[in-house]
Amino acid sequence: MNNKNYHEIWSNCLRIIKDNVPSISYRTWFEPIVPLKIEENVLTIQVPSPFFYEYLEEQYIDILRKTLRKELGENAKLEYSVVMENSVYSNNKPFTVKFPTNYKSELKNKPVSVPFNSDDENSIKNPFIIPGIKKLHVDPRLNPDNSFANFVEGECNRLARSAGDAVGDNPGGTAFNPLFLYGDSGLGKTHLSQAIGIKVKEKFPEKTVLYVNANKFQTQFVESVRNNNKNDFLHFYQMIDVLIIDDVHEFAGKEKTQDIFFHIFNHLHQSGKQLILTSDKAPVEIQGMEQRLLSRFKWGLSADLQAPDFETRIAILRQKIYHDGIDMPEDVIEYIASHITTNIRELEGALISLLAQSTLNKKEITLELAKQMIDRLVKNSKKEISVDYIQKVVCDYFNLSPDLLQSKTRKREIVQARQIAMYFSKALTKSSLASIGALIGGKDHATVLHACKTVNNLIDTDKRFKGQIESIEKKLKV
């Protein structure tokens, strides 16, 4: 007869387990377990969800068996009470795992192993509102057009494409984990990241692949906190085999989102799962991101996608024309490629506009029509303004070094320049207040709000200051 109580027995087991598993795994998978009772040599523990139980079964049964035998002897048994929302799933009685019989074969027909479906209100909340939690039911959210077959390779993207191809052949098994793709908007980061996911699904259909934009991820996380199911959110993302996070720079200034992603990143990486991240900046240039995350972004390979050269632009246009089954004169293709030079998205947009002009006006596609359309498109297109560009223009106007805006100095002229940069960033970009603050001096969203109010007040009361603002605005909109 064992004289120890169940709390003491479980505490002794945890001490051993803690020394033998990574700290993040211990916090995620063992701290939430609650010991309930012990009867003879049977210890009953409560776990927070069916997925939680299944993960313990797959990953940690050996150490559970060893530690429990050490405390209760060779005849040790374990019972799970699996929480389903506010009730405990037991199917009239809890099931028992008997050691040393074969664990997995014994559990094959046990109640908790039944598959979850859309009618089961007690299943883990999937943040994408997809029925069930089984891996086969997770929609990878990939656009089939974004395949490697439709991705044109050139000098501008060769390293990134080659690395992506290798990851698609062996996800989680290369040195490219994470694969960090970066470059300006419209250069093919989303296409390439999704192409990897498509290739993985083709070669390894049993693997769970998921593409999600950073803003969507953050929205889901906020919802999970509001609805008190943060653990379900965490467990959902920890079951993914290939996780693609687009625009990861959007996490800048969002501390709690960064924290939850840090734990997801660690778990997936330690489990040999593949992470693919995209950003408009290299890791070293991202501001407002925790250092522990930035260091992990550098663990694998960072590969940039650059503006396509003339030959690549020609190849992109030819592929698009061939795909759409259109005839187009070679001089028109060359004219478009020579005048739309920085952005693949704009290049394809110009081609679509030309086709639309030709179809709607029933005109033949000629060089003259292309010149009219391209000249109008280039003239009317507005340069995309970034927070970094605004800082540069403001610093040039006041003859200041850009480094001063990032410093902690409280000199009046520096503080005012910083406030002006924040004011224009809020007015002319889509960046959040938190992102703007993080990029301009590492400030919070409240500081940005205060800066905008200060600038607006000065515009109303100080003519000289108002003139400065108008001059800077003209430079920004040139």
Q: Give, for all 478 residues of the chain, the pLDDT tens digit.
A: 455 788 999 999 999 998 888 877 788 888 888 888 888 888 888 887 766 777 787 788 888 888 988 888 888 888 888 765 433 333 334 444 444 333 333 333 333 322 222 333 334 455 554 333 344 368 899 999 899 988 988 888 889 999 999 999 999 999 899 999 998 888 889 999 999 999 999 999 999 999 999 999 999 999 888 888 888 899 899 989 999 999 999 998 899 999 999 999 999 999 999 999 999 888 888 888 999 999 999 889 999 898 888 888 888 888 888 777 777 888 888 888 887 877 788 887 888 888 777 777 777 787 887 887 777 666 544 456 788 889 989 999 999 888 888 888 888 999 999 999 999 999 888 788 888 988 898 888 889 999 999 999 999 899 999 999 999 998 887 6
Q: 272 near 172, Cβ under 8 Å? A: yes
**CATH code, 387-476:** 1.10.1750.10
CATH 3.30.300.180 residue spans of the chain: 6-113
Cα–Cα nearest to 423, from 465, 399, 392, 456: 456
**What's the fold here for domain 148-304?**
Rossmann fold (3.40.50)
Element (DSSP H or E) covering residue 226 = helix 214-226
Cα separation, 230 vs 260, in Å, equals: 9
CA distances from 432 to 40, 181, 252, 253 (A): 59, 22, 9, 9
Cα separation, 361 vs 356, in Å, equals: 8
CATH 3.40.50.300 residue spans of the chain: 148-304
Q: 379 near 341, Cβ under 8 Å? A: no
**CATH code, 310-380:** 1.10.8.60
Q: 234 near 264, Cβ under 8 Å? A: yes
CATH 1.10.8.60 residue spans of the chain: 310-380
Tokens of 478: 């040139």
**Lookup result for tokens 């959110």:** 233
β-bridge pairing 242-246 and 274-279? parallel
Q: Is domain 6-113 given the CATH code 3.40.190.10 in the classification?
A: no
Tokens of 313: 């632009």
Note if the pTM is more than 0.95.
no
Neighbours of 200 (CB within 10 A): 26
CA distances from 402 to 417, 427, 431, 467 (A): 10, 20, 19, 22
CATH 1.10.1750.10 residue spans of the chain: 387-476
